[in-house]
Amino acid sequence: MAAVKLMFPAIMMATVIAVCSLDTNHVFDPCSDSKVRRWDGFTFGIAFSSKESFFSNQIQLSPCDRRLSLRGNATLAVFRPKVDELTFLTVNTDFNPAKAGGYMVAFAGKQYAARSIPTLVADKSNIITSFTLVLEFQEGRLINLYWKKVGCKSCAERSGVCMNNQECAIPISKCDINGGSVDCNLKVQLAFSGTDKGLGVLDSWYEVQKLREYLLAG
């Protein structure tokens, strides 16, 4: 796999998904544009910093934009999953997400500069460890990334804390990195929607929805 050119000096370890030999996408830089077909590899990044650091003059910019003051102040994870394959990513939290700023933004591209809204990962007391990220494509070009909220239904069984009535979090004191028994590495379920460059439909997001409905019914 070719090296990925990174915008930030602080780099964290991340789980990277292997790419099939039939991959036709030769763009490995998350800050470059590409058009993909189904089953291609696609490189994107997740930047961790404060919520305010992702904005300039009250406008949210891509972490690739040099107008942001992220250099030296953000932690970056880079992934390359297969397009439209249900994928589970892991981000090793050997660093403290709260000290990094507590928020994360998923992003890819330069001219099109798709980015998610900043989403809360951790505060001084709690950390959210489970996320769902949907990548939306139009004719093979990434146009949007958005985090899907999963709600607080699982909080009771995980002895968790419901944050903002949207996410189930774990007290940081219970994390194994702090001497507790809970694995607090971040886990991101990845799904795709829209169309690839051959106008093929990307539908793994619907599989995620079906899985959720099945689990709720059970």
Q: For 85-110, what is each residue's pLDDT tens digit?
A: 989 999 886 778 998 999 999 999 99
The helix or strand, by DSSP H or E, that contains position 209, with its residue range, turns out to be helix 204-217
Q: Is 120 helix (H, G, I), strand (E, B) or coil?
A: strand
The model's pTM = 0.85
14-72 pLDDT, tens per residue? 444 444 458 999 999 999 999 999 999 999 999 999 999 999 999 999 999 999 988 77
pLDDT band at 209 (very low <50, low <70, confident <90, very high): low
For residue 216 the two structure tokens come to 């709720």
Q: Which residues contact 155 (CB under 8 A, 6 or more apart)?
A: 161, 162, 168
